[in-house]
Structure 1
Amino acid sequence: MNRDETALVIPDSWRERLYPRRGGVPVSEIKIKDLAPARVRRRVQTIRPFLETVLDHEGSERELVRRARDHLSGEANPLGAAVLRKIDSKATQPCLPLEKWVDAWVVEHGLAFAACAFAELGGITVDLDLRRKDFPHLVRHSGWHGVVGASAGRRLRALLAAANERDYAEAVGRLADHRRTPLQRIVVSFLVPTRQDWVAECCAEPPRRAQYSETHDATMLWCALGSAEQLARLGGWARLARGEHSLELLATVAEGVGPAIAPVLAGAFDEGLSEGTGQVLLEVLGALPGDEAFRLMATRLDKAYVLPAMRAMARRFPVRALRVLPSVAASGSKSAVLAKELLTRHLLDEPELTAAVVPRLPDVARTVIEAVQRARVADASADALPRLLVEPPWTQKRKAHKPLVMPGDPAGVERALRWTPGEREEWARADGRGYVASADRSELERDLAAFQKRPSNQYVAFKLFNHGPEDLVRPLLADWRPRSWWFAVEWMKALVARYELEALPHALEAARTQPASQGSVLLPFLDAEVAALMAGWLARLKSARTIAIAWFDRHGVDAARLLFPAALGKLSKERRQAEGALRLIAAKAGAERIVAAAAAAAANGEAAAGAIEALLATDPLDILPARPPKAADWLEPGLMPQVLLRGGDLALPVAATEHVITTLAMSKPGEAYAGVEVVRELCDPESLAEFAWVVFLQWRAHGAPAKDGWALTQLGLLGDDETVRRLTPVIRAWPGEGGHKKAVDGLEVLAAIGTDVALTHRTASRRR
């Protein structure tokens, strides 16, 4: 078997959708409806009053009227038959489908007659009288308007393609007299594309694109093409316009023109069409033989939906894949990464073919392939891997248990402020812009009057609260409601330093409004409401996570006491957040201290201590979602790069790589599954970053499904500076492609990577 055929092989799924071509791909036999003539006669009688009005109209051309009346009287002629059909199309009642007219013509007068009548439809029209708007009239035309009917045309073309030699020759001979106008010439070439000399004439005078949207003229010309030379002769006209992306049309052109249509298909794909249209273009492009079609696909691997089509094309043309993929893999282009992985997978899938073909390839291609082969390392044994990547907890049967729920209030923890040495004094001096109230009593009175008139005036408020006489301004603090909390954090720190617990409501409001910029003002406060807020930030808010960690480090076991009610309360988001915070505290303060505090903090201390002890003893790897994610249908593990262990001598087996993907899919922004840290400790960072990037590329290559947004956010867990350089242009392009949310998420990924390069690129991207 020749594994690299050069002829176009039409897939079975196309056969019933092609416009049939005589001598081309066989299609199902067209069955003529014998009752069609009777239906046409009944239709003519139904519209007879309207028909006579049109024929009697003074504006109707006499020759067309005469031919129509001759046909009505039994003197059959193609032009008269076409006139009757045209008038029917303008009748007020729904017209009879053109297919019925075609069948009636074939049954009553033969195939050649039907073909000639169909061609005549392109030379007449029924127009409105410019003087009297109430009645249409018949006129000839040589322009490009006048829809002929695609489905009826396909039916008639199929009949001609399957006709015997005598009937076909008769049809071709008679059609020669029905090519008077440019449109008629295109219609005739569409019906009998074997007359390539007629097709060449049409290519010399193609239909005007400006009027395409109203006709099927261009569609018929596309379907008549039978050679690469004709396509070249069309020059700039040969581009796929709106409405010319159906599989019926593209498959027919591919059958007629062959691989030469590849650049036209690729050009249409680059225009950013809808998902369905793009996939049709790729389906046809992927079926074309020839290195050019393969190269055009391979250089677009970074585009949506190209990768799966390219994978199928590599299986269809395996030798061509070995010829073309190396140059793309070594190109340094946006498609190079996926081309390399595709080539690697292909080499593994086709060892015998590789051994036979590679020695005959050019030096450049052979060098790339040999480098890819050398880069692969042996898989690590199961003994060298952690349990997470051999028998991960989500693959094991878990014993269901109901967590203990013990509502109650914390005991022994009073609201307080805990300052670090010198911190309060430093905050007291940090008054932002240094507004200082004057010792002048009149100025103070003016400030008080201005504040009472407009308490939202932040300039006056901070001037008074930070520097005014306490006996006058302290009573005003409780009722103060600023217009917004968009001010320097130093102002709020000065407020906290001066008023301490009295400033807590304002500090909480500011921190909730602007966690990243104002959250640090809560660090000194030991308070249940603050503890709950910090537990939430720790679990879900990446921008304030470092503040939350610092707060728990400062308050330690006392912070844990504030979290016991939530951690032992009803099952909820707040409970999960409190549990996570307790694990963090226990990692620093020791689990024994936390358990002892639980025993002393609750009335039923022994049960509470047991529940907290069980919570802290749980392996973080066993903390799983109720339903672990299923493998994404867009992800092809066979196209993933090897993940190397530290040292680079061994790699994760495919099964372990799939477990890594699951750990990433279970992670949320700011809440990574504990297994991610295990993977980072085990594997080479650069290899992990490359692996993460290919996961992201495959997600994009399959249309970036929103439900699998983890494929973007996981870059923040495994990415490096090279990831930043690759991702930044994508982030900047997303808003213009309707991907504003993805762009926002992308900026958060840069923040999660957190290197100087990442933060610099993030800042620059936010300014654009």
Structure 2
Amino acid sequence: MQRYELVAGASAKFWEIDRDGVTVTVRFGRIGAAGQAQVKTFDSDAAAEAHRAKLVGEKTKKGYLPIASMTLTPPQPTAAPQPAAPAEPAEVRDEDVLVLPDSWRVVAWPRRDRGPAPISPLPLGRELELLSRGSEQLKLRLRNETTEPDVREAGLAYLGARLAGTDGQDDPFGAAALITALGMSIPYREHEVLEPVADDWVARLGYGFAAAATAELAGLALGGTSGAGRDEVGVVRIGTGGHHGYYLPHWFVIAVRLRTLIADATAKDRDAAETALANYREGWLAEHRAVTSFLLPDRLDWVRADCAGTSTHFLVARLLGGAAHTVDQVRAVEDAGRLAEADRTLPLLATLMIGVGPAIAPVLNDWLNWSAQGTEAIKRTLAALSLVPTDEAFGLLLRHVDRRYTHAALMEAAARFPRRALRLLAGSTDRAVAALLRVHVLSNPDMAQRALATLPPVAAGRVRAILDGAAAVVLAPPEALPPVLRDPPWARTRVPVPPVVVTGPVARPEAAMAWRPGERDAFLAHRVEVTDPSGGKQTWARLAAAEFDGPGSGWRELGIMVHGPDEVTRPRLAGWTPRTTWQLEAAAPALAARYELDVLPALLHLAREGSWDILPTLMPYASGDVALIVADWYSRLKSVRALAAAWLTRHPAVAARTLVPAAVGKAGAARRRAEQALRLIAASGHRDAVATAAATHGQKTVDAVSALIDADPLDALPAKMPVVPGWLDPGLLPPVPLTGGDGALPPDAVRNLCTVFALSTIAEPYAGVAQVLDACEPGPLAGFWWEAFERWQQMGLPPSEGWVLQALGPTGDDETVRRLGPLIRVWPGDGGHTRAVAGLDVLAAIGTDVALMHLNGIAQKVKFKGLRERAQERIADVARGLDLSPDQLADRLVPDFGLDADGSLLLDFGPRRFTVGFDEQLKPYVVDGSGQRRAALPKPGVKDDPDLAPAAAKRFADLKKDVRTVAGDQIRRLEDAMVTRRGWTAREFRDLFVAHPLVVHLVRRLVWGVYDGKGGLVGSLRVAEDRTFADADDEPYDLPDDAWVGVAHPLDLDAAAATWAEVLADYEILQPFPQLGRSTYALTDDEAAAAHLVRWIDRTLPTGRLLGLERRGWRRGAPQDGGVQGWFEREVDDALTVIVDLEPGIVVGEPTMFAEQRIADVWLKRPGDSWWVSPGRGAPFGSLDRVTASELLRDLTEVVQ
């Protein structure tokens, strides 16, 4: 196919022609579009050739220019003619040709030695226009004291001559001085305005002048004192005070345009440019020489010499990158000038592809391995690599298969080179590549079938399995499909029904408190920082007057209202509108618990001002005013929708009485919000509350509300339907079989399946989801959506298709959890906090033991505080639903992983069997039939059962993966329980620990204490192999049903600790963490009486060692100014927190910025204590029990000393 193009003005068209024997094919259209095709057949080859020649002649007369062969390889030495090789099939031959897309080729900087380039004419006169418009500013800059005398003289002379039209307009140095001075007048994104200047120069004085002026530009720059304004800079020479910045100079567009003109110029004009540029080679700056090579990239000797130079400037690298024609030259430029830092614009990449050809592939790969680069640069580089027609380039893409955006590039490469892609994809054993192979084979089944005979046996087997699997899929008939997939409501014409409006109903304001058990006490426990004025000259009354009545910002208002006496605070409640939200998260619950309905107006003010984090505090308020706010937030704020739904379903009667009048009122936002909230309330089991509220307003209201609630939920569709992206091609995703064995979903039904979930969220599922879950096999459905999720990741995680992640919630299984959990943990580090929080919702929605286990693991330990807090909120939500505390829920979240009741697992290989056991760290091992213990399970052999052995091996691999997820958390939780004195009833101990097939392996290795109601130790025991209890004398221990059991601390055991140590040593029992051999410490009498531990104050230690506190349950303080975390903290009971103040503090995101930290203070903070150093700050350390004090001293001693 021979290609011609016409680019003139706003027109950019292509025309292609090809003759195959007696058939002539023509394709034409706009550049960048697919175009149209016409095919004609003639009686003979001669007639076809005559017709082809006639059409070509017509097009060339109209100005169409032939496009050079797109093999785009570097020039090669002339070789002796070789005999013609047999013609390869077109399918194979095309895959060895580099073809740049039109969008790349039209922006590439042309090269004369790669064929002519179409040129769009530009208007003349731009230079004079710019000089006339900016003449006064140009004179100021040229007369600036920093402008060198010869530059000033040349520039002013050229300006005067150009404006007057007199002699003196032919000095290239003067022209360059003026264009340089224009730099400050042209915004960075508007440099294109200078492009026609090149045409002006060529038209007025020829190619020699234009080339010389452009070369002179490389030696000049704007300069001035630091902070100089627009008119306070001058023009200086490079190397004598001036330099080019990191960004391309404004005149670069002139160089690009002149290069384009030279590439299309006559030989005479091209020679004139060369003659002029030759004068800037010897003895001139690297910038000058680089311009000469850029303008004449066909002067291979210039390019070769310049690329071998040593300049490290960005501009030189960019210019020479546009001239290079070998990969060695590109590498030389990159090593010297950091070409990779040029952000790899599309013009540069396209130019390199044309100049260097397929050999550029390794350089592109190196750039992908460079860490400091932006997303767009990565995408462009991957796209460039996908264009290279070599096995090497495709293999390099495969190396990056797990990297974001690579999937799209691989699919592009596979579409361009289908045979190569099939061969290389089928030869890989990578799981991610296997998914790509499946997509490729199913996209090209005929080609794949033909290629089977050419592939190696193993690769051919992989391709054949995909083809056979696709052929074996039986599609379900329409009558077997669920209604929402067979006849979806969005495919039918919808006739809008006007809403029924009932005038008259009015909402009655009401408000009451509806506390849940223990909720008010939890709210009261919140404290905020405020300076306690008692005991000094200041009083609460004076402090309140200064804060509320004075001109201040009100930052202490919340603290005063939380902690001040009633006689000071209650008179101020009426009409109080808080001016600050500082500490609101802590203050609001305390205010609600203390003042209840009296403070509601202030809380409503904060809510109406946009303080959405007030919503948890509004939970106990059964108020109509709150209902209106919550209904609004539920309808439009995704971030608080779950909490808003919780309020609406907690107070259904109040909400319904408030919202029914709005739901039958005039059309508008208020009605839509009320309708949405009432549907939620009714669907959550509170339909009677809605009906009762409607009945108070008459039958017409009852009928209208009933119609609202009874409307087919499938018809609740948005005004704008979501669009299923093209990369979710039904034919390329795994089949989804129906539960009845009627076959798999056909393509149209799969598209509808995607739409169902695109309409749905976890918080607000579309009604069609239930039909899908009932109709489809759960395992394959989970696999389908995981494949869709992986494709979403590979496409760069587009936010508009984030519903694909949400779809994992209702469809996912334990395998989904195992794959998703690790991703959630790392997403925040890649700027994906919001996505990670959505992943937490997915885990909660899946809801299996394994899912909740992963959710709890994230809540307990993940390095991103924001994600950890959101996970803790999700766990707390689940716990509240079960009337448990988060710790009690965590006790119940440890899966048994299918272990036998005795804590073991039998793995059957057929002739061989292995029993699984666990060591003190819960690492699994196996014991073979001879009783020999093995750390790893042997691989299945030829004598093993071909079905049983692989299944058993996979079972053990999954078990190791799952147990690894919980082992560390379980050990840490038991150690924390010992430190914090947490315990369990005897029944909980037996059910949750002793009877648990996994946890019992830890339970047996610890000594357990039995405590009385006051926390005193009354006995100790261990759990024997048969799960009976024994004391330190190895006698049976009778555990009373009313006993309280906990992990015994050595300080509790006292002398019995040594006896227990001998018992465990006799049984060769290793402990999962230091218990009996744990070092213990005690406060001195002075330390017990003080609020500060002076033994560590002013100690300096490496920051890295101090960070070890995090592994012991401490956390860094909240970031302050500059992102500095100035302290470590650890809560030691419900009311006290140990604080370790640091100087200079730890910088968020770069913890080792300061190599050392000085401990400024160690003190015990009470609720309400000010962070500012003040008399009376802190509680005495004697407030701590001896175990807590010992553990505190142990942490600091082992880390600090």
Same fold by TM (over 0.5)? yes
Q: Give the aligned partner of residue 475 of structure 1.
A: none
**How far 1:202 sits from its partner (Å)?**
2.1
Q: Give the aligned partner of residue 91 of structure 2.
A: 2
Which of 98, 103, 109 is 1:13 aligned to?
103
Relative distance call for 1:545 and 1:617 in structure 2 (3 A) is: closer
CA–CA separation in structure 2 for the residues paired with 1:90 and 1:538: 58
Relative distance call for 1:686 and 1:240 in structure 2 (3 A) is: farther
Q: Give the aligned partner of residue 330 of structure 2.
A: 231
**How far 1:664 sits from its partner (Å)?**
1.5
**How far 1:751 sits from its partner (Å)?**
2.7
Which of 351, 354, 357 is 1:252 aligned to?
351
Which of 356, 377, 388 is 1:288 aligned to?
388
Q: Give the aligned partner of residue 487 of structure 2.
A: 391
**Aligned counterparts, 1:20-31, within 5 A:** 20-29=110-119
Which of 450, 454, 467 is 1:360 aligned to?
454
Relative distance call for 1:646 and 1:164 in structure 2 (3 A) is: same
Give yes or no for contact 1:125–1:141 (8 Å, CA) kept in 2: no
Give yes or no for contact 1:121–1:148 (8 Å, CA) kept in 2: no
Relative distance call for 1:727 and 1:176 in structure 2 (3 A) is: same
Q: Give the aligned partner of residue 1056 of structure 2.
A: none
Note the alpha carbon deviations across 1:354-394, whole angstroms, 9 max, x for none: 12223322345334333433443232221221111011122
CA–CA separation in structure 2 for the residues paired with 1:285 and 1:713: 33
Indicate whether 1:188 and 2:287 are aligned. no
Note the alpha carbon deviations across 1:192-224, whole angstroms, 9 max, x for none: 33343432322222430xx32xx3x21221111
Give yes or no for contact 1:341–1:640 (8 Å, CA) kept in 2: no
Q: Give the aligned partner of residue 255 of structure 2.
A: 153
CA–CA separation in structure 2 for the residues paired with 1:134 and 1:630: 54
Q: Give the aligned partner of residue 575 of structure 1.
A: 675
Give yes or no for contact 2:173–2:213 (8 Å, CA) kept in 1: no
Give yes or no for contact 1:563–1:582 (8 Å, CA) kept in 2: no
Q: Structure 1 stretch 245-254 or stretch 256-265: which is displaced more?
A: 256-265
**Aligned counterparts, 1:53-64, within 5 A:** none
Relative distance call for 1:433 and 1:206 in structure 2 (3 A) is: closer
**How far 1:116 sits from its partner (Å)?**
6.5
**How far 1:27 sits from its partner (Å)?**
0.6
Q: Give the aligned partner of residue 470 of structure 1.
A: none
Which of 345, 348, 354 is 2:442 aligned to?
348
CA–CA separation in structure 2 for the residues paired with 1:460 and 1:137: 72
Relative distance call for 1:238 and 1:317 in structure 2 (3 A) is: farther
CA–CA separation in structure 2 for the residues paired with 1:728 and 1:206: 50
CA–CA separation in structure 2 for the residues paired with 1:46 and 1:516: 64
Relative distance call for 1:749 and 1:518 in structure 2 (3 A) is: farther
Relative distance call for 1:348 and 1:141 in structure 2 (3 A) is: same
Relative distance call for 1:617 and 1:32 in structure 2 (3 A) is: closer
Relative distance call for 1:52 and 1:406 in structure 2 (3 A) is: closer
CA–CA separation in structure 1 for the residues paired with 2:769 and 2:335: 54
Which of 678, 688, 707 is 2:781 aligned to?
688
Q: Give the aligned partner of residue 445 of structure 1.
A: none
Q: Give the aligned partner of residue 467 of structure 1.
A: none
**How far 1:670 sits from its partner (Å)?**
1.5
Q: Give the aligned partner of residue 665 of structure 1.
A: 758
Q: Give the aligned partner of residue 121 of structure 1.
A: 216
**How far 1:255 sits from its partner (Å)?**
0.7
CA–CA separation in structure 1 for the residues paired with 2:359 and 2:564: 72
* Secondary structure class of the residue paired with 2:95: coil
CA–CA separation in structure 1 for the residues paired with 2:518 and 2:335: 74
**How far 1:33 sits from its partner (Å)?**
9.0
**How far 1:680 sits from its partner (Å)?**
1.3
CA–CA separation in structure 2 for the residues paired with 1:628 and 1:390: 18
**Aligned counterparts, 1:632-647, within 5 A:** 632=725, 636-637=729-730, 639-646=732-739
Indicate whether 1:767 and 2:868 are aligned. yes
Relative distance call for 1:193 and 1:681 in structure 2 (3 A) is: same
Q: Structure 1 stretch 390-399 or stretch 187-196: which is displaced more?
A: 187-196
Give yes or no for contact 2:123–2:196 (8 Å, CA) kept in 1: no
Q: Structure 1 stretch 342-351 or stretch 17-26: which is displaced more?
A: 342-351
CA–CA separation in structure 1 for the residues paired with 2:291 and 2:363: 23
Which of 200, 205, 219 is 2:309 aligned to?
205
CA–CA separation in structure 1 for the residues paired with 2:749 and 2:384: 36
* Secondary structure class of the residue paired with 2:114: coil
**Aligned counterparts, 1:745-760, within 5 A:** 745-754=838-847, 755-760=851-856
CA–CA separation in structure 2 for the residues paired with 1:644 and 1:163: 65
Relative distance call for 1:302 and 1:484 in structure 2 (3 A) is: same
CA–CA separation in structure 2 for the residues paired with 1:538 and 1:252: 53
Answer 1 or 2: which has greater strand percent.
2
CA–CA separation in structure 1 for the residues paired with 2:437 and 2:771: 30
Q: Give the aligned partner of residue 444 of structure 1.
A: none
Structure 2 gap ranges (5+) = 1-89, 163-169, 187-192, 226-231, 526-539, 545-558, 567-572, 577-582, 605-611, 870-1201
**CA RMSD, aligned part only?**
6.2
CA–CA separation in structure 1 for the residues paired with 2:650 and 2:138: 91
**How far 1:268 sits from its partner (Å)?**
4.5
**Aligned counterparts, 1:512-551, within 5 A:** 541-542=641-642
**How far 1:679 sits from its partner (Å)?**
1.0
Relative distance call for 1:234 and 1:41 in structure 2 (3 A) is: closer
Give yes or no for contact 1:566–1:578 (8 Å, CA) kept in 2: no
Percent identity between matched residues is 32
CA–CA separation in structure 1 for the residues paired with 2:645 and 2:656: 17
**How far 1:245 sits from its partner (Å)?**
2.4
Note the alpha carbon deviations across 1:264-294, whole angstroms, 9 max, x for none: 4455456575565555444433322223333
Relative distance call for 1:107 and 1:541 in structure 2 (3 A) is: closer
Give yes or no for contact 1:728–1:761 (8 Å, CA) kept in 2: no
Q: Give the aligned partner of residue 318 of structure 1.
A: 418
Give yes or no for contact 1:60–1:139 (8 Å, CA) kept in 2: no
**How far 1:225 sits from its partner (Å)?**
1.1
Give yes or no for contact 1:15–1:25 (8 Å, CA) kept in 2: no
Relative distance call for 1:533 and 1:678 in structure 2 (3 A) is: farther
**Aligned counterparts, 1:272-283, within 5 A:** 277-283=377-383
Note the alpha carbon deviations across 1:441-494, whole angstroms, 9 max, x for none: xxxxxxxxx9xx999779999xxxxxxxxxxxxxxxx99x9x98969x9xx99x
Give yes or no for contact 1:721–1:758 (8 Å, CA) kept in 2: no
- The residue type equivalent to 2:102 in the other structure is D
Relative distance call for 1:564 and 1:285 in structure 2 (3 A) is: same
**Aligned counterparts, 1:78-477, within 5 A:** 81-89=171-179, 100=197, 104=201, 108=205, 111=207, 113-114=208-209, 117=212, 121=216, 125=220, 149-163=251-265, 178-180=280-282, 181=284, 182-208=286-312, 211-212=313-314, 215=315, 217-234=316-333, 236-237=335-336, 240-266=339-365, 268=367, 271=371, 277-298=377-398, 300=400, 306-326=406-426, 330-332=429-431, 336=432, 340-376=434-470, 377-402=473-498, 404=500
Give yes or no for contact 1:40–1:100 (8 Å, CA) kept in 2: no
Note the alpha carbon deviations across 1:694-746, whole angstroms, 9 max, x for none: 44444455554545543333332323334334444444444444444334333
CA–CA separation in structure 2 for the residues paired with 1:145 and 1:238: 13
CA–CA separation in structure 1 for the residues paired with 2:512 and 2:149: 99
Structure 1 gap ranges (5+) = 73-79, 436-449, 462-477, 496-500
Which fold has the larger relative contact order, with Cα–Cα distance below 8 Å and residues 6 or more apart in sequence? 1
- The residue type equivalent to 2:476 in the other structure is A
